[in-house]
């Protein structure tokens, strides 16, 4: 998948709950259909980011781990009422 149009949110060095709090704020600032590339170093994001997406209705398009960094590609699919 090509995520070259994704905006990047780098939460490297931050620990729970900060990465997901920052993701929540960032996703508010983008339009429905846009994609965020989130970079994290906290292993708990492997659990937290998929739950965040499922709970709020966003799509986790892809996730991967390279060395000690976690990469998530989240598409905003809903807008708050």
Which residues are annotated as catalytic? Answer: 16
Token readout for 49 is 């980011």
CA distance 73 to 3: 8
Distance of alpha carbon 7 from alpha carbon 45, whole angstroms: 18
């Amino acid at each position: 998948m090509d995520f070259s149009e994704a905006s990047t949110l780098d939460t490297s060095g931050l620990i729970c709950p900060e990465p997901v709090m920052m993701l929540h704020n960032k996703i508010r600032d983008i339009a429905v259909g846009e994609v965020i590339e989130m970079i994290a170093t906290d292993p708990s994001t492997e659990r937290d980011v998929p739950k965040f997406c499922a709970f709020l209705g966003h799509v986790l398009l892809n996730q991967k781990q390279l060395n000690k960094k976690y990469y998530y590609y989240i598409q905003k699919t809903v807008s708050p009422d």
